[in-house]
Chains A and B, each alone.
Chain A
Amino acid sequence: MAKGTLYNKVWDRHVVDHLPTGQYQLFIGLHLIHEVTSPQAFDMIGEKGLKIAYPLRTFATVDHIVPTQSQARPFADAEAEMMMGAIEKNVSKFGVKFFDFKSGNQGIVHIVGPEMGLTQPGMTIACGDSHTSTHGAFGTLAFGIGTSQVRDVLATQCLAMDALKVRRVNVNGKLKPGVTAKDVTLFVIQKLGVKGGIGYAYEYGGSVFDAMTMEERMTVCNMAIEGGARVGYVNPDQTTFDYLKGRPQSPSGDKWEKALAYWKSVASDKDAIYDDVVNFDAADIEPIVTWGITPDQSVGVNDKLPDVATFSADEAKTVELAYKHMDLKPGAPIKGTPIDVAFIGSCTNGRISDLREAAKVAKGRHVAKTVRAFVVPGSQKVKLEAEKEGLHKIFTEAGFEWREAGCSMCLAMNPDKLKGREISASSSNRNFIGRQGSKDGRTMLMSPAMVAAAAIEGKITDVREVLK
């Protein structure tokens, strides 16, 4: 059993009780909500005559259903408008702080939490969204939960949870030029599989993660769940503290030192014990592209698509389904696969550093005539910053559409969708069948710079060759 890890320390400090079921009652320090998975939870609170136990520890924003061409109300989609109305009514009725369009702080919930300074080391965090693991970048235990659990957090500020095992995922050495945090996280998933993390929290460590910025660490932790790990985290360090300094909700003045003491105390001990340790060499990582229907079906951009025979009999069925859905052939190079749509955005890669990397590729070039390309900033703040830096001009001059903040075509709950059998190069996190709004649509996941390169060339391209 793991001992002395950040997971153990944060868990222990938040345990309220060992429940008769054998589960643990865990206090949740920060609860984030959005419009899609909260209305039913608020209804249950109302129906049961319950109150919100700690209303100041819940924060709301809207992201999944918001249109990105215009945020003007009422929305053209009546269902989306109704959903928007429901969260507005609920936050006002129950006294929950709401980062709405007018606030200038609206955006994807996993981008808003960190940029507001709400996400801090040593917290437990829950949100009705599987990509809550993103917040683990700050050294938190952050859980994606379902709606009945959202209800529990609202009513009690607690969750009934089972303890996880802890796997240390080391990536040491130096990344090659052009290899990004997205490639690192896709690489780990490729090696450990989409089921490999079931029952585990992933602690990412080693020189590669040490050297990453907070935004890069967020990209890595965001996709822990795609490897089956509900929780992924990086131990807090000076990079974490520097990011938090001066954020709206960060501690300030003499409280800063007290906060630092707590934050430092939760980091894993040097002699911590893990349930499992895996080691990877940074030099083995190339820019990665997914070719299938699960995030572990991926290859390096200069590799060929794998033979079905290289998979176990058991996995072969999924692989065959993937080839059929994607209409790709084993043995073919992935480079050169034509694309129809390019999407840059999402909680995985919708932050300012992602847009800067994509803009470097877009600058002075033009999107291929066959490609519909768009950039969706992860939050209103990201959008404002990008516009201050002139990135929007680079994108629009290159033929990308420049949109308002939201989840957009990561899950296509708003008007941004693939049509028919369109194939997208996407900086998002899931290549599931139907994920981007068309049941026959196809998704290839990659880094934002690789998406920009694919948009320019009209096909999957090694971004390093474009930038040469």
Chain B
Amino acid sequence: MSKITQIEGKAIPIEGNDIDTDRIIPARYLKEITFTNMGQYPFYDERFDAEGKPKGHPFDLPLFQGANILIVNQNFGCGSSREHAPQALMRWGIRAIIGESFAEIFAGNCTMLGIPTATVNHGEMMKLQTLVKEQPQMKFMLDLEKKTLLAEEKEYLQFDIHESKRNALVNGTWDSTGLLLANAAKTAEVAKKLPYVSGF
């Protein structure tokens, strides 16, 4: 599995606190039994009117096309545990998310897909959002080893990221199945000691 240490690209801002996963991907798209088409649906109901015409959402504005670093506010991804939400963002092109805070399950799902969820404080976020809106062509680089965001190759800010998530990404162990499988014997020992596993 690949090590994820640096993510370079343009940023795209989605403003607002408490943006839930129903807004990121409406439940009707969860009826598909694969994630294949999810890239067509992120923020669908906020992007398109009843006739399917774009309403000018950042995901459809020409100046943000090709962006891969999503900039959000607080408690992003709250609500439903649907992995379809980060899958939809990833398949649209998002490779990293910077926010003020993330809902727990959403952040875990992102890590499983190799998407870092970096956090900055409110003041820094206000500055960053303004910068991205004013200069959408700005090239950023998220450096997970130094926990630094560069703007046009100059250090712009230091971010936080949960240390275990950062380790998983930079060491290439974010898809955890392999790590867990390697401990099959230890798992069996733990199971054996749990009274309910053997039916008491």
Contact = CB atoms under 8 A, between A and B. Distances in A.
B112 A149 contact: yes
Residue of B22, B177, B181 with most chain A CB atoms under a 10 A cut-off:
B177
A83 B101 CA distance: 34
A317 B16 contact: yes
Contact of A146 (B16, B31, B81, B168): B81
Given A198-B75, A432-B22, A146 B105 contact: yes
Interface string A1-31: 0000000000001111101111101010100
Contacts of B3: none
B3 to A, nearest CB: 12
Given A86-B33, A145-B105, A17 B22 contact: no
Contacts of B68: none
B67 to A, nearest CB: 22
B78 A194 contact: yes
Contacts of A430: 20, 22, 79-80
Contact of B200 (A36, A145, A228, A262): A262
A235 B165 CA distance: 30
Interface stretch (A151-159, A214-222, A327-335, A455-463): A151-159
Interface residues of A, number: 82
A255 B82 contact: no
B99 to A, nearest CB: 12
Contacts of A80: 31
Nearest to B126: A314
Interface in A390-408: none
Contact of A198 (B28, B101, B112): B101
A31 B28 CA distance: 25
Given A156-B180, A158-B183, A318-B17, A20 B105 contact: no
A43 B187 CA distance: 24
A294 interface: yes
Nearest to B176: A160
Nearest to B189: A16
Interface stretch (A121-129, A277-285, A343-351): A121-129
Interface stretch (B58-66, B132-140, B147-155, B191-199): B191-199
Contact of B164 (A22, A37, A158, A228): A22
A21 B167 contact: yes
Interface in A413-438: 413, 430, 432-435, 437
A434 to B, nearest CB: 5
Contacts of B103: 198, 228
Given A22-B164, A155-B181, A194-B78, A439 B104 contact: no
B179 interface: yes
Interface string B164-187: 110110010101110111011011
Contact of B75 (A19, A194, A437): A194
Nearest to A321: B16
Interface residues of B, number: 64
Interface stretch (A46-54, A300-308, A352-360, A373-381): A46-54
B122 A27 contact: no
Interface string A251-276: 10001001100100000000000000
A123 B18 contact: no
A148 interface: yes
Contacts of A27: 187, 190-191, 194
Contacts of B31: 36, 65, 77, 79-80, 83, 413
Nearest to A156: B180
Contact of B27 (A57, A147, A159, A412): A412
A195 B74 contact: yes
A144 interface: yes
B193 A13 contact: yes
B106 to A, nearest CB: 8
A195 B75 contact: yes
Nearest to B180: A156
Contact of B34 (A29, A43, A262): A43
Interface of B: 15-18, 20, 22-23, 26-28, 30-35, 45, 74-75, 78-84, 86, 101-105, 108-109, 112-113, 122, 162-165, 167-168, 171, 173, 175-177, 179-181, 183-184, 186-187, 190-191, 193-197, 199-200
28 contacts: A16-B186, A16-B187, A17-B186, A20-B179, A23-B176, A27-B191, A37-B82, A50-B177, A53-B184, A57-B197, A129-B81, A144-B105, A146-B108, A152-B177, A156-B180, A156-B181, A156-B187, A198-B101, A251-B199, A258-B200, A262-B195, A294-B20, A413-B27, A432-B20, A432-B22, A432-B23, A433-B22, A435-B22
Interface of A: 13-17, 19-23, 25, 27, 29, 36-37, 39-40, 43, 48, 50, 53-54, 57, 64-65, 77, 79-80, 82-83, 86, 120, 122-123, 128-130, 132, 144-149, 151-152, 155-160, 162, 194-195, 198-199, 225, 228, 230, 251, 255, 258-259, 262, 293-294, 314-315, 317-318, 321, 411-413, 430, 432-435, 437, 439
